[in-house]
Structure formats: structure tokens, C-alpha cells
Structure 1
């Protein structure tokens, strides 16, 4: 580990420094190379005024930009600081209180123009034989500032170093030809975030943010909000920012830092914010993992070394920050460890190195129960130098207690070529990888509601931080270490293509584990009747209880039914069985955690026998030889005909003793008998499965009288049924033709229509009203014209039990000749509904 190596190195130089006067001189050099230039000429100060920048490059080739005329001093001894200030006419323009093991740190402004660089270096090299390295600078003023820093570090035994400048960890917009718009055909875009390759499950990265959202919603955890600090620059709020948001400073001020590799990124903080917690499902912009649960604390900072330290200290001591749980830092710089060691050597190992100063602050912040995330950088470098002795450290990515995030290529697990990576498996390497390419939306320079693909570990880091927020929302009782352990332990491993940590963030697995659900899968309760009628629709409803402990709808717990039903509505399956016997219905489900559950129900498919009845003739009736006898009956079967049934069956009439013309078919037919005597008429109906039902009446055939009654002819009732598929509302006008002829011509014939009604809901078992005249007597016509509501005495009041089930009504025509001889004939029974639900 680099920190252990530095400690050993410092201890050894202490021993060397204590050797005799024959020690060799140091070799430190600070030459001026005017071909060097900082990435940007100036950096705004706290008051907005520009501060000129310079660059130094060590023997490793690492470029480090810093602020001219400023030094960062760390010491707990104010007398040492004051002595330094007095020598150089310096003044303190900012200070950071002591936090944990980190000493008090000061931002000092000074004019080092009086420094004689060669003389200072000669004295330093003479006094510190282990001092070495060559640090080329972009200007004489830069060389003077570095010489003063090392001289003061040596004289006062305190940490003195330049105020280094950081870079935002994003690739500048337009710097890569691959950056598409949504209409770019080679990189498809969908407005549905669930389909994005870095948000869905099943793609190469298989992060599963969308499904993690569904888990949290099912568990009712969206109300658990997580405060996230975005330490950055360039925050322009829009409809994609969380509703709960606060800025420590001002909105809509562009970012002062340049992006990695140069180029401006004025709204870097805006895109970092939406990468972490862009609000989903609002038809605007993009979506980030913590969108449903994140609360934003936007903290613009000035972009230099002292700015990081100041902000980290205030996180602990200042109430205005509101105690965020997660801190994201999508910026950094590469510190040449040659300079880090030079400062340590110059003070004879009696002061911490600059990297150790930042370590002290990050460790102190993490100790307050917070998670710190930082981008790994976009130089395509191995931060661990291939596993050997490291020549640099990436700050804050490799700082202690910081989770360093690298980036995967678009829709792939392999590291993006631009992302830094680690070849070691320790805590000072790249810890985990997120997506390197993310969709970003609105900013003040791009106001269209359009998604643009942007790249950089600047977006990888807040994305993983947003996943951490989902874990914390899933289980608010977790501490920071437990949240990181879940992220670490549930991550996909491998496929990144590096020798170090190849962890790839897995939001779905992390949230699943954080929910701490029990070992059993979903349970299913089936509610369906134990019996099903043959050929009739039967249903079973499956109620699923999942890890959330409540009913889980099919959208979250999809159902499969075996055998396949005829149709499914929601969580209810409908079957229609065409053979009788026992069946077993199996229902399977899978919850959002991908756990299975099943249940079965046995159902007995029943074939109900037909139902038959005889309306005419009535039992005990007498007829004469040759008289036309109406055979009026009904035959139905619950399992036949269209829903809801019952459906009609064929009526078959037989007689005993046998007689000519029998057996005969038809539910409304006629017969006559040539001989006298007792007869038994039997009506039989047989369903397609062979079940039969019979009904019988006894009649007597007498000798023919001298004068015969009229012969009646009836037509069909009109209109067809118009209510509930089996009857009529009682306000329906009904009509039927009727006529009669008399064998002897005894006219006129008198016609009378009568109705008999039966008790509600009871078929024809109980008479309600008998032989009520509904039309006639008249000699003009035998036709029926009747509206049931005109005869209310036939019908029960709606308050009567079963009144809404309708009443059976039998309509009978009586024809009487002029000598008083009568005959009757009835229409098939009908059902009339006085009481309806509409």
C-alpha cells in the first residue's frame, strides 16, 4: 500500500538525516520550462476575482497545476505559521480547523518574488541529503513559489505545498464523435429508462436500477429520503432535479473547472446531479438511480486543494450542510508522489505529506457515518502503476475512506478505454465500476428536452452513489460501512479486464439484500369453487403475498396458470371444461426478487342432469277420442347453450300404453288418441353426455261428445326476450296471434286470455296468482296484446324475497263456441321481471 511505503520511506530518511557531516547532498531541481502551460490560465477566487495559475511537471511526467501566489500550510503550531508569514509578508486568507488527525490548515497568500531559487535549493540539498527530484515549472514565479514551500517545510517542520487545481472528471461535450443524439441509429435511445443498458436487467452491465425501483416501491420505501451532497460546480436546476434541493451558494453559476483533458464543462454539476438522482417518469430529461429517494445538497466549490479541505471540514462542523449521508466528488488531480515525498523529506518527516493531509480529512468525514464517492479519472491510467511502487496518487479517488469509481464502456462490462483503473486489490485502488457513458439532459446551453450521451467517470461516481442511496432507502437502519459492504458484496465480479477489483455495481442485488427479506418465496392463496359446471365458465383468483407482506399484483408478481385458461383478467383465470371429472389447477408466480412460489387447487367438473317439466296437459286432465291435445313442456340443461345457461334440449314424448304417433319430438306439439282409456304421458330429455331426466302426467281419454269444442291455433310470442337473456321487463308490450275454428260451425267463438304466475325465483313449483284474465272475453279476435305491468296483481312487490329473479308466467287462450263448449291452448312459459337493477 502506498501509505505504508511512504511511512517506511519517511522513517528511513529520518535515520539518514541523523548521520554525520559526510553525508552526500540532495539533488532537488526546480528548472523553468516556458513551454509548459496550465490547462486554464486563471481560476476564480472566493470573491470571484481571477487567480493566475502555473504548472509543474515532475520526472514522472505528471502535470500538476496550482495557484500562483498561494500556499497551503498545515500545522497546529501558530508560532511556526506566524514566523513563515513574517518572513514572506504573507497573510492568511482562509483556514480550516483541525479535524481528527488532520492538523489545522491555512490558505496563505504571499509574494515569493524575493526568493532566490538556486540559493534556496543549494541550502536545502545541503541540509537534506535525501531530497531529490526534478520539478519543471512554467514560470520563474512558479519556481519561486515551490522553492519557498520546500524551504518553509524544512525550516518550520510543517506541511507547505502549492494550492493544487482539480479537474472535473467528464469528457468535454463534442470531444468524441461517438456522442449521439437520441436519433442516432447506431446507439438506440428509448424514453423508457427501464430499457437503458445501464439501468435495466439482463443487459451486459445488468445493473437493474429499474427493477430496484420496483422493489422499493413494493416495499413502500420511497418515503425514506437520502440526502446526497454533490460537491461540484455549475448547478442549473430544472425539472430533473429532486423536489427537495438546497444550494450552499448560488444556482446557475457556471463551473470554473475544465474537464479532463481540457475543454469547458460549465454545467458539470448539473449533469453529475442528474446522473445520481435525475427525477424519473416526468417526461423530461433523464433519470438517475436515486431519483425516487434522493435529496440534493449542491455545494459549489472553488476547485482547488484548499477548497476540498475546507468543504470536508465544514461537513463535520457546519449545520448548513444538513448532515448528508452520501458525498460525491466528480473531480480530482494526480499528485506526483515525488512532490509528496519532497515535502515530507524537506520537513525531515516531522510533517504529513500533502496526500496525508487530505487523508486525514476524508477519514474524519467518513468517521461521522458518511459515504464518500469520487471519480477515478479519465486518463486511462492504472492508478496502481501495474502493481509496482506507485509514482502518483489520484486525489480524492485514492484518499483514505473514499470509494473510488471507475467506468465501464457503453453497454459492456469492459473498462472504457478512457477510465482510470486499478491493478491492486486493496483499499487504495479503484473500488468499483459504474457506467462511463450516461444520458444527460437539460442545461442552460442545451435547453431542448433531449437526451445526449456523455462520458466520464464524473458520471460513473454519482451513479454508484445514487445506488448507495437506494440501499440506504431500502434499510435506513444500516450504517455507512454496512451500505458499502452491501454494494461491494453484491457487485458483479469480472469482465472489467483489469487485474485489480473488477466489481461492477449491481443495484438490483444490493437493494434486494438491503431489504433483508426472509428465505421463503411468494405465497399464493387460491379462491375458487371446489366444483365447476361442465361447459360453464369457472374462475379461480390467485392472491399473491410477496416479500413486502402485502398483496402483490400481477404487474409485480406475474402469474402463470396450468393448464392454460381460456382468458385471464388481472389475477383471475377463467376456464371452461368440456368433460366431467377431477382437475388440478396449478398457479406459479415469480416476485421482483426472482423467487418462485406456487399453489394448486382441485376442482370437480360436474355434469348436471337436464331439467324437464310439463305445462300441458295437466295431470288428471280428460280428453276425448280424436281431440287435439297440446303437449307443452320444457327441457333445459345447465351445461348446454350459451352463457349463462341453462340451454334448451330436445323434448321427446312417449305414452303408455303405446299409441300411434309416439314417441314424438318437440317441446310444443300436439297429439290425438284414437281409443279411450287411461294414458301416461312422459317427457324425456337427454344431454350430450347421456344423462336423462323424465317427467310424467296421467290423462284420461273419453268417448267423443256429440258436439266438439273449437280447435285453437296459436302463433309465436313477440318480441324475443329482452332482459337478462331469459325474459322480459314487465313494461314490454307482448303479442301473439290466436284463432279457433269450430267443427260444427257454432259461432261466434269467444276468446279469453288468462295468465297464471308463479312465486319469484321458484320456477313453477308454487302458484302466485291463478287464471287472471289479461285479455277478453271478446268475439272479435283471439290475438293477444298485453303489457304485463297492466296486470300488477300477477307480480310480487320488489321487497319480496327473490323478486329480482323474475317470475314465470303461463299465458293460456280459452276458446268457447256459441253452445258453451271450450278448449284451451297455452304459449310456452315466459319469465317476467317486474323488478330490475337498471
Structure 2
């Protein structure tokens, strides 16, 4: 039976916003940021758009916490880890210009990336003063898809200005969220933008009031990342608060996340956080922007960027575009909730993005065992092709089609199994080279679908795990004995296919430490995770040191008092599938023992 409903006449509130269509074009230089490869596009006149004295840095996996601390302190910085990820916010307290610090860190072979923390604006364009209609739902075939699923069992994280907790179309669907801007649990809407975005994705369906979201039975997790700039009456966020919000959402069970702010697709930190969520089975959708131009961002598989179409399935004049766009979706005259309890029509890629996000939630609801990569593939392959044949800069793979995507998801036959193993090799260091101290290890890894993670083994011990491209490590050779040591990189894809690289033998030549009578125990730290919530696949990283040298250390990792991994040297890593563990508290314990038999233990608990 087809789902249908008659929408009651809502209270329509006409609202005036400082950001008009013309203003959206005027601020285009401020609402777009290219990735590191396009740093030259950042105009110095936009200096006010950066958070002075605050940058975002991700060290290479395997770099010890102490060594990373030395790098950061060398530039007068203090670091803060974002959730269970490897992302760090660094507050600079020295006199060195922020740009100089970022450039020096980018050249450091033990740093994966560094970028300045930038302020970006919400991608809401203008507010129509007339009663709209839910044209976008029939346009994408949502009513047909609803015959099979409506989003039940799926949590959509709305990273925005908060959500009105009392709105009649949203309050029953809300689950606890997080405020990454103020680091608290206050998720009330400070701009009004987040309430409309949340309603576009998942306003309650069949509740007799208001409007219907694309995934009206999904849960809504409000993540407040934004603040109201009183001087401009505009809603802004920073890359750092987006990245923090995404890692929190991923660690707390969200499977879909939406970020309707311009420029985030050009941030390395946001892309890393999006990959973190994707590795846990989720998908991140972002708006393309409202500048009406090619933003020039590099295409990425970490997130889904969405441009806006109108009721003729044509890209709107104000929607940004570029090769980074993955999908298009309706974003013009979208009827959505207004903070305070009423409704109105909205325009902008801010609303195209949650339409696509809602469709992803429908597929996950219909087939919960689908992987994030499979859901993404179904969205792309069933989109209605627009513009040039195939993927193009205006529409990506095409306008999202919920009915066709659902038909593919429920086609009867299971998705074709991926039987192709990744390709992986170590490009540096070279075989038979001599190494000492911290050594950059560069990895080439590729897959027909995508590489989920790469593990670095030194003499059969997994010393580090990298879960996001470009893959690479920082190996402290002091954790190995002098002489020839063997390095192997092992790549995994999402389907569980595994391939190990050809081994590379390296001659380690470090100064030996001699201790006449060793009675000092080693020091051991669990670097990741930290106490708190965990979800999905968790990388457990351990660092150890000893007065007699790290080469003589042996380590054992216990989860709930069961030994799950053992290794030698100063570093060890383990990929823990927490999804297979029971809900509740779990104990993570690391034990390090030196060559003289001295031992040390550290432990804490996490919640799944």
C-alpha cells in the first residue's frame, strides 16, 4: 500500500535574514576554502576568517605521543586530541606567524597534514515568503521508497546550529547530542538554520502535524558546531568544531551525518574526520556551497558533496559546483520547520545535502547490514544522470533518486561480493638502507572499492595502523634491535580482503643504551582510545619506553582481561571490532615488560 498523507496548513513565518541571494555571491570568497594543494587561492584579505593562534594537525600513525608533543612545543603549541580520532587542535602561544607554523609542519615528514582553522558560513541562501510544497519528496521518489523503509533504526547526526528541542515535528525523534563549539551538551538552536536542516532530513512522518522529512522515522542527533555572529547576523562554524562533532557522532553510533556549511569539503581535518566515520560504517554529506562557481576542491571519497537542483532537475544558479561534487538533490523552495514551532520554505545547498542524507538513511533502514561503501555506491549508480553523461562537475553522478536506490537495495540478490584484494607496497625506506631514530614509512595502497586500513608490521609486530589515505607511518627504529629488521605493510578493504606488501629489510643502527643493573620498570601509555564512548572499529595504540632502551620491551594488550595482541618494541597497535562486543563498559589494559623482567601496567574503561 502506498504511503500518503495530507499535510495540515502550517503556520508560515516570514523571516528576514542578512544573507540574501546577492549577499551570498558577495561573500563567495569567504565561504570557500581549497585544500592544501590549492592554498594559493586563499586571499590574505580573508585573514579575519581564520582562528588566529589555532591550527589543525594530524601526526602520522606510529609517532609517539612524546615525539608529537616535542614537535608541537617546538612551535609554542599546546595540543588537544579530538575524541577517539588522531586529529589534534593545536593552540599556538608563540610569536611565530600561523602560516609559517603550518608550512613548517606540512614539510615535517612525521606530520600527515596541517592547516589553519577557518571560519565558514552556513549555506542557506534566501527565505521565500510564500507557502511552499513538498515537491522535493515526490521529485526524488521518496513516497515510493517509504513503502519499504522510512529510516527507523538509523541515527542522523545534524552538525549545525543546534535543533529546536520543542518543535512538534522534531522533538520525538531527538536523541542526546553534543555541543562541540562550547564543549557541553547544550544543543538548542542558536541560529535557526539547524532546525530547518534537521527537518529536511528527518521531520517526523505520519504524526499529523507539519511537514515530512525524507527519513521521517530516523532518529536525530543534534551536534551544535555553530555560533551566531551578532555583527553580521550570520551563522558560522570552524573546521575544528566540525571535525570534533563528526568524531563524537561516529563514536556515539550515528550512521549518517550532515554538514551544511560552505568550504568544509576543502578541509583536510574535516575529510579525515569524515573518513573516521566512514570506517565505522557511516556516511558524511556536505553542502557544495552557494557561490555559484566552481570551487576547485579536489575530489575525495571521504564524504559526499551535494549541489542543489530546482523543480526542473536543473542546477540552481546559486549552487556551487566542481569535480568534488558527488550528487545533486533538490535545494530550492524546500518546506521545512522553523525554530519556534512554525514552518517556511528555504533555499540553499544547505537543504540539498540533508535530502541526500535522508535517502542514505532510508537504505540503511531497509538493509541494516549494508556497508557505507555499498550505500554510497547505490546512491551513485541509481542517481538520475543530468548534465554531461556520467559524473560531471554540476551534478556529480546525478540527482539522487530514493525510489531507484531503494529498488536496488531490495533487489533480492545480495550485493556482488568484493573478492579483489588491495594492492600495497612500501615506497620508503628503501630495502637495505640504514635507519636510525624516527623513520618516515611511505605506503602505496589502492583497491577497486577502497582501502579501509593499512597496518605496519616490524618483525611481525603491528606497530601502527593508518585508516585514511594518504597512508604512511612514523616508525621509531629505537624500538628494534640493531641490525636487519623487516617491515611489511598489510592492506585491508571493507570486504575483509587482505594483501601484504613485499617485505623490506632495513639495517637499524642506533646507539646502544647500557644499564649495569636494571631495576627500573618501563613506562607504558595507551594513546588511543581515551576513556569515553567507542563504536565500530577502534584502533588501540600503545607506546612504551624504558631506561635500557625500547628494543628490549615486550607488550601485551588485554581487552576485558583477555590477551588479544602481543608485540615487541616501543609501539604496538591493534584493530578492535567493538561492534562485536556487548553494550556497556569494557576494560582496555596494556602491560609492558623490559628485558630485565621489570613490568608496568596501565588501564582504563570505555563504553560501547
Q: TM-score, structure 1 length as denominator?
A: 0.39
1:80–1:286 distance in 2 versus 1, CA, 3 Å:
same
Taking the TM superposition and a 5 Å limit, the aligned residue runs for 1:242-321 are: 243-249=172-178, 250=185, 253-255=188-190, 266-291=191-216, 293-301=217-225, 303-316=237-250, 318=251, 321=252
Aligned twin of 2:141: 208
- Alpha-carbon distance between aligned partners in 2 of 1:61 and 1:89, rounded to the nearest angstrom: 26
Taking the TM superposition and a 5 Å limit, the aligned residue runs for 1:540-555 are: none
1:108–1:408 distance in 2 versus 1, CA, 3 Å:
same
Indicate if the aligned counterparts of 1:230 and 1:329 stay in contact, CA closer than 8 A.
Answer: yes
Indicate if the aligned counterparts of 1:224 and 1:476 stay in contact, CA closer than 8 A.
Answer: no
Indicate if the aligned counterparts of 2:150 and 2:218 stay in contact, CA closer than 8 A.
Answer: no
1:499–1:81 distance in 2 versus 1, CA, 3 Å:
closer
Cα drift, residue 370 of structure 1: 1.4
- Alpha-carbon distance between aligned partners in 1 of 2:110 and 2:381, rounded to the nearest angstrom: 43
Indicate if the aligned counterparts of 1:414 and 1:496 stay in contact, CA closer than 8 A.
Answer: no
Indicate if the aligned counterparts of 1:415 and 1:496 stay in contact, CA closer than 8 A.
Answer: no
- Alpha-carbon distance between aligned partners in 1 of 2:258 and 2:120, rounded to the nearest angstrom: 15
Aligned twin of 1:379: 291
Q: 2:255 aligns with which of 313, 318, 325?
A: 325
Aligned twin of 2:77: 90
Query: Does the alignment pair 1:150 with 2:42?
Result: no
1:468–1:89 distance in 2 versus 1, CA, 3 Å:
closer
- Alpha-carbon distance between aligned partners in 1 of 2:284 and 2:205, rounded to the nearest angstrom: 24
SS of 1:166's partner is strand
Q: 1:452 aligns with which of 344, 362, 385?
A: 344
Aligned twin of 1:369: 281
Cα drift, residue 460 of structure 1: 0.5
Cα drift, residue 233 of structure 1: 1.8
1:477–1:232 distance in 2 versus 1, CA, 3 Å:
same
- Alpha-carbon distance between aligned partners in 1 of 2:115 and 2:406, rounded to the nearest angstrom: 43
- Alpha-carbon distance between aligned partners in 2 of 1:430 and 1:294, rounded to the nearest angstrom: 25
- Alpha-carbon distance between aligned partners in 2 of 1:491 and 1:37, rounded to the nearest angstrom: 28
Indicate if the aligned counterparts of 1:362 and 1:400 stay in contact, CA closer than 8 A.
Answer: no
Query: Does the alignment pair 1:421 with 2:321?
Result: yes
Aligned twin of 2:159: 231
- Alpha-carbon distance between aligned partners in 2 of 1:90 and 1:211, rounded to the nearest angstrom: 54
Aligned twin of 2:406: 511
Cα drift, residue 499 of structure 1: 4.0
Taking the TM superposition and a 5 Å limit, the aligned residue runs for 1:667-678 are: none
Q: 2:54 aligns with which of 55, 63, 70?
A: 70
- Alpha-carbon distance between aligned partners in 1 of 2:353 and 2:105, rounded to the nearest angstrom: 37
SS of 2:263's partner is strand
Cα drift, residue 315 of structure 1: 4.1
Cα drift, residue 454 of structure 1: 1.0
1:90–1:290 distance in 2 versus 1, CA, 3 Å:
same
- Alpha-carbon distance between aligned partners in 1 of 2:39 and 2:106, rounded to the nearest angstrom: 20
Aligned twin of 1:164: 118
Aligned twin of 1:435: 330
- Superposed CA offset, 1:98-127 (max 9, x none): 74xxxx332222334x34xxxxxxxxxxxx
Query: Does the alignment pair 1:408 with 2:309?
Result: yes
* Structure with bigger RCO (C-alpha 8 Å, 6+ apart): 2
1:89–1:59 distance in 2 versus 1, CA, 3 Å:
closer
Indicate if the aligned counterparts of 1:247 and 1:299 stay in contact, CA closer than 8 A.
Answer: no
1:515–1:69 distance in 2 versus 1, CA, 3 Å:
same
Indicate if the aligned counterparts of 2:196 and 2:336 stay in contact, CA closer than 8 A.
Answer: yes
Cα drift, residue 90 of structure 1: 3.5
- Structure 2: which 5+ runs fail to align? 1-26, 32-37, 179-184, 227-236, 414-608
Indicate if the aligned counterparts of 1:406 and 1:434 stay in contact, CA closer than 8 A.
Answer: yes
Aligned twin of 1:633: none
Taking the TM superposition and a 5 Å limit, the aligned residue runs for 1:605-616 are: none
Indicate if the aligned counterparts of 1:236 and 1:251 stay in contact, CA closer than 8 A.
Answer: no
- Alpha-carbon distance between aligned partners in 2 of 1:514 and 1:153, rounded to the nearest angstrom: 42
Aligned twin of 1:484: 376
Aligned twin of 1:197: 135
- Alpha-carbon distance between aligned partners in 2 of 1:378 and 1:38, rounded to the nearest angstrom: 11
Cα drift, residue 300 of structure 1: 1.4
Aligned twin of 1:181: 130
- Alpha-carbon distance between aligned partners in 2 of 1:149 and 1:515, rounded to the nearest angstrom: 48
- Superposed CA offset, 1:343-391 (max 9, x none): xxxxxxxxxxx62x544432232122112211111111224x5xxxxxx
Q: 2:88 aligns with which of 100, 106, 109?
A: 106
- Superposed CA offset, 1:654-683 (max 9, x none): xxxxxxxxxxxxxxxxxxxxxxxxxxxxxx
SS of 1:246's partner is coil
- Alpha-carbon distance between aligned partners in 1 of 2:154 and 2:213, rounded to the nearest angstrom: 14
- Alpha-carbon distance between aligned partners in 2 of 1:90 and 1:441, rounded to the nearest angstrom: 43
Cα drift, residue 415 of structure 1: 0.3
Cα drift, residue 222 of structure 1: 5.3
- Alpha-carbon distance between aligned partners in 2 of 1:85 and 1:485, rounded to the nearest angstrom: 40
Cα drift, residue 307 of structure 1: 2.2
- Superposed CA offset, 1:527-560 (max 9, x none): xxxxxxxxxxxxxxxxxxxxxxxxxxxxxxxxxx
SS of 2:124's partner is coil
- Alpha-carbon distance between aligned partners in 2 of 1:432 and 1:155, rounded to the nearest angstrom: 36
SS of 1:503's partner is coil
Indicate if the aligned counterparts of 2:199 and 2:337 stay in contact, CA closer than 8 A.
Answer: no
Cα drift, residue 236 of structure 1: 0.7
Q: TM-score, structure 2 length as denominator?
A: 0.52
SS of 2:403's partner is helix
Cα drift, residue 334 of structure 1: 6.4
Indicate if the aligned counterparts of 1:226 and 1:472 stay in contact, CA closer than 8 A.
Answer: yes
Cα drift, residue 87 of structure 1: 4.6
1:494–1:371 distance in 2 versus 1, CA, 3 Å:
same
- Alpha-carbon distance between aligned partners in 1 of 2:173 and 2:108, rounded to the nearest angstrom: 50
1:149–1:252 distance in 2 versus 1, CA, 3 Å:
closer
SS of 1:199's partner is helix
Cα drift, residue 274 of structure 1: 0.3
Larger Rg: 1
- Alpha-carbon distance between aligned partners in 1 of 2:152 and 2:110, rounded to the nearest angstrom: 49
Q: How many residues align?
A: 355
Taking the TM superposition and a 5 Å limit, the aligned residue runs for 1:615-630 are: none
Indicate if the aligned counterparts of 2:272 and 2:302 stay in contact, CA closer than 8 A.
Answer: no
Indicate if the aligned counterparts of 2:265 and 2:271 stay in contact, CA closer than 8 A.
Answer: no
Indicate if the aligned counterparts of 1:471 and 1:483 stay in contact, CA closer than 8 A.
Answer: yes
- Alpha-carbon distance between aligned partners in 2 of 1:417 and 1:197, rounded to the nearest angstrom: 19
